[in-house]
Amino acid sequence: MNIRIGTRGSKLALWQAYYVEELLQRGGLTTEIVIIETKGDKILDRSLAKIGSKGVFTEELEDQLRTGSIDIAVHSAKDLQSDLGADFEILAFTEREQVNDVLVSHDTSLSLKSGEPFVVGTSSTRRIAILKHYYPHIRTVDMRGNLQTRLRKLEEGQCDALLLAYAGVHRMEYDDKIAELLSVEEFTPAVGQGSVAIESAASLDGAKKQVLQNLLNHPATAHCLRAERAFLKRLQGGCSIPVFGLATWQQSTLALTGGIISLDGQEMIRRTQEGVPSAPEVLGTSLAEELLAAGADRILAQIRTQVKQ
């Protein structure tokens, strides 16, 4: 069986595609990698919040899934919107990497906790708002582009440090630049952070789907991500909304912590619920309902007037 793997062309995307390719080849399949450029790769001078439309990193990949010119598309799970159309499905989530955010700098003695002011490059509304909430002495500057571009900007002195997902930093082998590992209690990650999602067209051959699932899906990760994604979907939080969510699966209990923070960092609502692994979507939706009842609807409405989605 030959599998055509569609991916973006950034180094991190290619790492993910090679990782998937290796899992498939170990299972006896042959593979081809097809590099596809997306809007998110082309437009680098505007923040994601301003580019606006959902699926900036996924649309072109889905076009090729639809026509059948690729069998699967490989995405960072956190970049894959929570409401896929009926034409597409997620076949698998690969085993999750450590989920934390990290502070990255040439000066690894830098620390948010030290109280010393410095400039952090990030364009994530979640990271900016959480910084404002816990570390108001830190100034942020907008920092788009792939990891290599951001590191170059760091090198050029446009900021003192970057705030990034450990997963990407580790995969790109920049571990020696990690100044601080940030706790998930403060920097609760974006939904899906650290896992790779495998998307296919709903119409892909059933036997092929089954083989791909067997080789790629990590059940514990998949349960967690399904809970997180149901949570995000209920809140309708696109990638420019500072919603965060992290599920863990321990001793057959699925626990989901999620929340929302206003853009200025002033208001934060965070809750935890536990559920059964057999019904992750129920847990995700239930947590979202609890948040909405606690005032998340008002914070969301306020954010939607501030960022163009």
Residue with tokens 């934060």: 268
Reported in sequence order, the residue ranges of the chain that DSSP labels E, i.e. its strands, are 2-7, 30-35, 72-76, 88-93, 101-104, 119-121, 139-141, 161-165, 178-181, 196-201, 243-250, 253-261, 268-275
Amino acid (1-letter code) at residue 230 = A
> Which residues in this chain contact ligand PBG in the complex, by CB under 6 A?
76, 78-79, 164-165, 167-168, 193-194
Report the residue number, 62 or 79, with the smaller CB distance to ligand PBG: 79
Report the residue number, 182 or 299, with the smaller CB distance to ligand PBG: 182
Report the residue number, 129 or 167, with the smaller CB distance to ligand PBG: 167
Kindly compute the dihedral angle of the four CA atoms of residues 297, 303, 304, 305, in this order, to the nearest 10 degrees.
Answer: 120
Minimal distance, residue 196 CB to ligand PBG, in Å: 7
Minimal distance, residue 176 CB to ligand PBG, in Å: 17
Minimal distance, residue 174 CB to ligand PBG, in Å: 11
Minimal distance, residue 18 CB to ligand PBG, in Å: 15
Instruction: Identify whether 79 is a catalytic site residue.
Output: yes
How many residues does this entry show for the chain?
309
Do residues 13 and 42 touch, judged by C-beta distance below 8 A? no
Which residue's Cβ has the minimum distance to ligand PBG? 168
Report the residue number, 167 or 296, with the smaller CB distance to ligand PBG: 167
Active-site entry in 71, 79, 101, 160? 79
Do residues 233 and 83 touch, judged by C-beta distance below 8 A? yes
List, by residue number, the catalytic residues.
79
